[in-house]
């Protein structure tokens, strides 16, 4: 089966610009996660969706970050405006009935 | 608060040598425990997981891990390392279930021929 798909794989933007990341989870997986991985660190959860509902967004910086999963499948994570400190790898993961999380390859964001 | 510590930032081993990567966690009860591997430019791949029962867990690619409650540890082992094992390894804990993973900072493994 196809894994978690993310695009783009790489993105370079100037600070104060907006940016969006897209994730397509594994088919049938109701739970979707966005993580941020800073250089030299492990991933940190930003937001978790159960179908369309964001059930844990406590770590999402809501002043500039937003996310949506309108039909309970694909999801988009947006940053507006981006800051230098947002440079990181943004990982999407999904899980199904077994709750094991499967990760996509990530989007590497560089903010100049 | 729950936390995961991986004491070794970098480890270098020779191909064919044995490997042990250390992981300690902080949590009041027995959490669910995971090891993931991340190769350059790749996402995280699950190696193995522990929920309950037998404290020695077998995973993919010849890896195993042992849960030691008394030491709050979940160390990853492999008897003979291959060059393709060079990657970054992350230990993670899920307090009370799967839905939130808390990761350690990772251990980068280099393998010498």
Give one DSSP letter per residue of A16-29, joined into a string: T--EEEEEE--TT-
Provide the shortest C-alpha distance from residue B32 to chain A (in Å): 11
d(CA B96, CA B99): 9
Q: What is the pLDDT of residues A42-98, one digit of tens each?
A: 999 999 999 999 998 989 999 999 999 988 899 999 999 999 999 999 999 999 887
Decide which of B2 and A21 is more confident. Answer: A21
Predicted local confidence at residue B86, as pLDDT: 96
d(CA A106, CA B108): 18
Task: Using an 8 Å CB-CB cutoff, list chain B residues near A99.
Answer: 97-99
Predicted local confidence at residue B98, as pLDDT: 55
DSSP secondary structure letters along A71-96 = TSS-EEEEESS--GGG-EEEEEEEE-
Q: What is the pLDDT of residues B68-83, one digit of tens each?
A: 999 999 999 999 999 9
Q: Which residues pair with A7 in a beta bridge?
A: A22
d(CA A62, CA B15): 47
Predicted local confidence at residue B2, as pLDDT: 81
Q: Which residues pair with B57 in a beta bridge?
A: B65
Question: Smallest Cα–Cα separation from B51: which of B28, B20, B29?
Answer: B29
Predicted local confidence at residue B30, as pLDDT: 73
Q: Which stretches of chain B score pLDDT less than 70?
A: 96-98
Categorize the per-residue pLDDT at A1 as very low, low, confident or very high, splitting at 50, 70 and 90: low
Please indicate whether, in this complex, the C-beta atoms of A105 and B98 are within 8 angstroms of each other. Answer: no
Cβ atoms within 10 Å of B19's Cβ, excluding its own: 17
d(CA A89, CA A65): 15
Predicted local confidence at residue B99, as pLDDT: 74
- Give, in order, the Cα–Cα distances in Å from A107 to each of A25, A77, A110, B30, B97: 14, 11, 10, 33, 27
Question: Smallest Cα–Cα separation from B47: which of B62, B32, B67?
Answer: B62
- Give, in order, the Cα–Cα distances in Å from B87 to each of A63, A90, B6: 35, 19, 15
Provide the shortest C-alpha distance from residue B65 to chain A (in Å): 17
d(CA B32, CA B100): 10
Contact with chain A for residue B98, Cβ under 8 A: yes
């Amino acid at each position: 089966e196809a894994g978690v798909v993310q695009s783009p794989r790489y993105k370079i933007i100037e600070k104060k610009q907006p940016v969006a990341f897209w994730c397509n989870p594994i088919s049938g997986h109701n739970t979707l996660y966005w993580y941020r991985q800073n250089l030299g660190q492990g991933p940190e959860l930003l937001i978790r969706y159960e179908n369309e509902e964001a059930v844990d967004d406590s770590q999402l910086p809501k002043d500039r970050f937003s996310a949506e999963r309108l039909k309970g499948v694909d999801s988009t994570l947006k940053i507006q405006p981006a800051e230098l400190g947002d440079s990181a790898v943004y990982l999407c993961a999904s899980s199904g009935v077994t709750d094991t999380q499967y990760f996509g390859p990530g989007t590497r964001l560089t903010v100049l | 608060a729950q936390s995961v510590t991986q004491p070794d930032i970098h480890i270098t081993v020779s191909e064919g040598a044995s490997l042990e990567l250390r992981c300690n966690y902080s949590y009041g009860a027995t959490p669910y425990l995971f090891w993931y591997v991340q190769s350059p430019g790749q996402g995280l791949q699950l190696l193995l997981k522990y929920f309950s029962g037998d404290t020695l867990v077998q995973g993919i690619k010849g890896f195993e891990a042992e849960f030691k409650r008394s030491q709050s540890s979940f160390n990853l082992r492999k008897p003979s390392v291959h060059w393709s094992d060079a990657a970054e390894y992350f230990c993670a804990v899920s307090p009370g279930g799967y839905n939130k993973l808390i990761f350690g900072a990772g251990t980068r493994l280099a393998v010498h021929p």
